[in-house]
Chain A
Amino acid sequence: MRVYLEQKNSYVNAKASTGKDLLEQLGFCSEDVILTCNGKIILPEAKLKESDDVRVLSVISGG
């Protein structure tokens, strides 16, 4: 699946069956980000499908 990384404003390809798998593969700490799937926030435990539009949003913004 294609995954959008908000912090880098870029896409990566990944293969993962759950949000947790995906975060581990991409090296994200679950507390640093939130995940959305098809426009809705999901918990890391949620299952993912190849066709899903997945986004990794950064929790840290501002400064």
Chain B
Amino acid sequence: MRCHKCKNTAVAKSTEQKPLCERHFLSYFEGKVKKTISQFKLLKKNERIAVACSGGKDSVTVLVLLHQWGYKVTALLIDEGIKNYRDRTKEELERICKTNAIPLRVVSYKEKFGSSLDGILAKRKDIRACTVCGVFRRTLLHRSSKHFDVLVTGHNLDDEAQAALMNLFKGQTSLLERMGPRSSGEHGFTSRVKPLYFCTEKEVRTYSFLRRFPLSYVECPNASGALRMEFSHALNQLESLQPGSKLHFLRNFLKNTKKLHTITTAVRHCAICGDPSSGATCKSCQFQQQLVNA
């Protein structure tokens, strides 16, 4: 199959199912990210930008692109302490940051909470890794990005479509209204933006392969049993039968979320750490007391 623009061999298809060669796919992808940034006013050139990096394809793609386009970025890696996974991606990220002269800041669970995730899971077999990890990661990203104007994450279209579907499935309407390419910096949170919001995971993998980013593309060992994977496979099955389904779903979802009348929980401050919290103490401090200090 030939590229619809230049007749070279096609390597991928656009959302509109038009075949694209390597060169035209790269420019199609970058154009899509640029359009998301400008359409949703995600970033300004003079802002101090922290990019939440795992060392995976999504965060590395957004980090390198923003750096290449002249944004003032600092890579921020949360090291949970997951053996044979985070140590590998951390090493890869360190190499990429060094090559591109991008500042890198590493914050670890061990240093901030007194135990690695592996350490917590070794002590408590009844705890699901993603439950603890989601809370601790969010806390450290919040605390470490306080001195930045904006926090960029590498969330892609698949992540967002899965989250929308899961929140609908669980009836978590209060979470639905927070979705979108930008979340405001209310209640002391640094505003978060997602420049890859309209890029599918497959497009990001294709882009990072074509750019030859030196990554090992490993999957978190704790992710395999997660419910999110089931939603991911279901959405991809639908996408293969009806190309463009995920984008269509997410666009309609965003349009209709604005009409939802959700109950917004009042934000207080945690009695222990002072971070914004919906309860008297935040989830992170509760976990630290129950799982680390116990």
A residues engaging B (CB < 8 A)?
A: 6-7, 29-32, 34, 36, 40-43, 45-46, 57-63
Contact = CB atoms under 8 A, between A and B. Distances in A.
A57 B236 contact: no
Contacts of B35: none
B276 interface: no
28 contacts: A31-B200, A31-B202, A31-B236, A32-B236, A34-B205, A34-B209, A36-B209, A40-B9, A41-B22, A41-B206, A41-B210, A42-B11, A43-B12, A43-B13, A45-B1, A46-B1, A57-B209, A57-B217, A58-B219, A59-B201, A61-B219, A62-B56, A62-B89, A62-B220, A63-B54, A63-B56, A63-B219, A63-B222
Contacts of A45: 1
Interface string B6-30: 0001111100000100100000000
Nearest to A23: B240
B273 interface: no
Interface string B236-253: 110110000000000000
A34 B206 contact: yes
Interface residues of B, number: 36
Contacts of A43: 1, 10-13, 19
Name the residue in A6, A58, A61, A63 with the highest tally of chain B Cβ atoms < 10 Å from its Cβ: A63
Contacts of B58: 62
Contacts of A58: 217, 219
B182 interface: no
A48 B256 CA distance: 45
Given A34-B205, A63-B54, 7 more contacts: A31-B200, A31-B237, A57-B209, A59-B205, A61-B57, A62-B54, A63-B56
Interface of B: 1, 9-13, 19, 22, 54, 56-59, 85, 89, 200-202, 205-206, 209-210, 217-220, 222-223, 226, 229, 232-233, 236-237, 239-240
B218 A61 contact: yes
A41 B89 CA distance: 23
Contacts of A36: 209
B233 A32 contact: yes
A62 B89 CA distance: 9
Nearest to B223: A63
B183 to A, nearest CB: 21
B209 A41 contact: yes
Interface centre among B58, B202, B229 (most CB of A within 10 A): B202
Most chain B beta-carbon neighbours within 10 Å: one of A29, A40, A41: A41
Contacts of A31: 200, 202, 236-237, 239-240
A30 B218 CA distance: 20
A61 B217 contact: yes
A36 B11 CA distance: 9
A60 B219 contact: yes
A42 B57 CA distance: 19
B237 A29 contact: yes
